[in-house]
Amino acid sequence: MYSRLVSSSRTAVIGLTAVMALSTTAFAGPIDDRQAAMKNVGKAMGALAAIAKKEAPFDAGVVNSNATALADNVKAAKDHFPEGSATGDKETWAKAEIWQNKADFDAKADKAVEAAMAMAAVTAEADFGAALGALGNACKACHTDYRRPKQ
Ligand code: HEC
C-alpha cells in the first residue's frame, strides 16, 4: 500500500515535470530563441553596415563570414515562430499577423536568406552597396508587416 502510494506520486511528479518541460518549449523557449537569433542577425548586419559607412575596410572574407552568419541566424529564427508563441512569459515584438500569414512570413524569411547568400558571394567592393541595399530591404519588408517597433 505504502509503496503503491510512493510510486504513484512519483509518476505524478514525472508527469508534472514533463508538462512543465512542454510548456517551456511551447511558450518561453521560442521567444528567447528567435530574439537571440535576431540579435545575431543584427550584429552581423552591423558589421556589414560599418563597411558601408567606411568605418571598416572592405574585406571579402569579413563580408562572407558575416553574411553567412546572418543567413544561418535568419534560418534559425524562422524555426522559432511556432503556433501559440504570439505571447509568452517574455515580451515579444512579433505581431499576431505572422500566424495569420505564415506562408508569407516564411517567404520573407527565405528572401532575406537569399539576399544574405548573395551578399556572401560578393568579392568586389563595387558590388557591395547593391547587395547591402537588397539585404536591408529584405529586413524591412518583414519588420514592417510583422514586428512591432520597439519604443
Ligand atoms: C521573416 C521576418 C523577418 C526578417 C526577414 C527579419 N526579421 Fe528581424 N525580427 C523579426 C521579428 C518578428 C522580430 C521580433 C521577435 C520577437 O520579439 O519575438 C525581429 C527582431 C529583430 C531584432 C531585435 C532582436 C531583439 O529582441 O533584441 C533585430 C536586431 C532584428 N530583428 C534585425 C534584423 C535584421 C538586421 C534583418 C535583416 C538582415 C532582419 N531582422 C530580418 C522578423 C524578421
pLDDT in tens, 19-49: 445 544 444 599 999 999 999 999 999 999 9
pLDDT at 121 over 70: yes
Q: Give whole-number Cα distances, 62 to 33, 39, 109, 129, in Å.
A: 25, 18, 23, 15
Task: Give the pLDDT confidence of 66-78 residue by residue, as tens digits.
Answer: 999 999 999 999 9
pLDDT band at 80 (very low <50, low <70, confident <90, very high): very high
For residue 89, pLDDT over 90 is answered with no
Instruction: Give CA 76 to chain center in angstroms.
Output: 5
b/e per residue, 114-124, with b = 16+ CB within 10 A? Answer: ebbebbbebee
Cα–Cα separations (whole angstroms), residue 113 to 27, 73, 107, 108, 148: 26, 9, 10, 9, 21
| Euclidean distance between CA atoms 70 and 92, whole angstroms | 21
Q: Among 34, 38, 73, 105, which is best to mutate for testing ligand 1, by the most ligand atoms less than 8 A from CB?
A: 38
CB of 131 closer than 6 A to ligand 1?
no
Q: What is the mean pLDDT of residues 99-108?
A: 98
Cα of 115 vs centre of ligand 1, distance in Å, is 15
- Distance (angstroms) between ligand 1 centre and the Cα of 83 equals 18
Q: How far is the CA of 62 from the centre of ligand 1 (A)?
A: 22
Does ligand 1 come within 6 angstroms of the Cβ of 93? yes
Ligand 1: atom nearest CA of 105 is 1
Q: Tell me if 40 CB under 6 Å of ligand 1.
A: no
State if residue 41 touches ligand 1 by the CB under 6 angstroms criterion: yes
Half-sphere exposure of 97 (CA within 13 A, CB side): 11
Is the CB–ligand 1 distance for residue 94 below 6 Å? yes
